[in-house]
């Protein structure tokens, strides 16, 4: 029986797999889930094995894309020192950046991945709905917005979140934002509410960047207040 076992099954199946297999003292048993507590591997722990978690913060929807983008990604590791050292070496060998995930933080950590993955899909879907309001389909919207998204990512990599920020909020351009809100309102109230909230969340980065005057900040805050 292998000394190091990775359980790489859907999250809901981890407990079942761990319960069905026979474990022994001295083994290392690791699951690859981001959100599932390692306590789900308790059958192995009770048999004397050391347990842990090894989660690459990357998407695996397309295997070829995943292999190309895996190097450089972060791997969250939760384990006791001996197993942690082994998993840290594995992460390093495959070109990833390991870090120690504190106990009890798995669900919070995994949820943050949604901001860099599925929420992007949802935001592009929302943008596509706006494009459809002036006669363009989703394919046209995504094709037009992807280069902008790539440019934004490149700017963030180069200068960080605040200094990589572009758009009217970063310039304190309240007039443009007002016109944007009026335009989005033509699509529907739910759309304008989301746009206002996202714009509001952008403001702290613009303030951090240090390019806005006090008057500009106040004008933007007033513009972005909740409307009845």
Which residues neighbour 74 within 8 Å (Cβ) at sequence distance 6 or greater? 56, 57, 96, 97, 98, 99
Q: Hey, how many other C-beta atoms are within 10 angstroms of the C-beta on 86?
A: 19
Q: What would the two tokens of residue 96 be?
A: 């990833």
Q: What is the mean pLDDT of residues 180-203?
A: 96
Element (H, E) at 98: strand 97-100
Nearest to 57, CA basis, from 22, 14, 91:
91
Percent of the chain, pLDDT > 70? 99
Local structure of 8: helix, strand or coil:
coil
Q: Is 122 exposed, middle or buried (0-12, 13-18, 19+ CB in 10 A)?
A: exposed
Q: Are 49 and 26 in contact (CB under 8 A)?
A: yes
Query: What pLDDT does residue 67 have?
Result: 87
Which residues neighbour 197 within 8 Å (Cβ) at sequence distance 6 or greater? none
Query: What pLDDT does residue 228 have?
Result: 46
Query: What pLDDT does residue 226 have?
Result: 65
Local structure of 54: helix, strand or coil:
strand
What is the rounded average pLDDT for all residues in the chain? 95
Distance separating alpha carbons of residues 75 and 86, to the nearest angstrom? 13
Pairing of strands 28-31, 4-7: parallel
| Residue indicated by tokens 């070109």 | 95
pLDDT tens digits along 71-105: 999 999 999 999 999 999 999 999 999 999 999 99
Q: Is 41 exposed, middle or buried (0-12, 13-18, 19+ CB in 10 A)?
A: buried
The structural domains of the chain, with segments of one domain joined by +, span 4-104, 116-223
Q: Is the pLDDT of residue 21 over 90?
A: yes
CATH 3.30.1330.60 fits 4-104, yes or no: no
Model confidence, pTM: 0.86
Q: Is the pLDDT of residue 48 over 60?
A: yes
Q: Are 53 and 110 in contact (CB under 8 A)?
A: no
Please give the DSSP secondary-structure letter assigned to residue 62.
S
């Amino acid at each position: 029986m292998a000394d190091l076992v990775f359980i790489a099954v859907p999250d809901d199946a981890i407990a079942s797999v761990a319960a069905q297999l026979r474990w022994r003292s001295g083994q290392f048993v690791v699951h690859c889930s981001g959100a599932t507590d390692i306590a789900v591997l308790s059958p192995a722990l009770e048999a004397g094995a050391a347990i842990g978690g090894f989660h690459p913060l990357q998407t695996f929807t397309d295997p070829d894309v995943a292999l190309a983008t895996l190097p450089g990604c972060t791997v969250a590791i939760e384990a006791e020192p001996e197993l942690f050292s082994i998993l840290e070496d594995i992460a390093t060998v495959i070109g990833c950046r390991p870090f120690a995930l504190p106990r009890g933080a798995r669900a919070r950590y995994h949820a943050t991945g949604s901001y860099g993955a599925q929420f992007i899909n949802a935001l592009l879907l929302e943008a596509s709905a706006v494009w459809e309001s002036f006669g363009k389909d989703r394919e046209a919207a995504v094709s037009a917005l992807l280069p902008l998204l790539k440019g934004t990512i490149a700017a963030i990599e180069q200068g960080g979140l605040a200094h990589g920020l572009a758009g009217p909020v970063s310039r304190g351009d309240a007039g443009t934002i007002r016109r944007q809100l009026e335009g989005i309102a033509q699509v529907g109230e739910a759309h304008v509410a989301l746009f206002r909230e996202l714009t509001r969340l952008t403001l702290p980065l613009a303030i951090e960047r240090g390019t806005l005057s006090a008057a500009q900040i106040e004008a933007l805050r007033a513009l972005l207040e909740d409307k009845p």
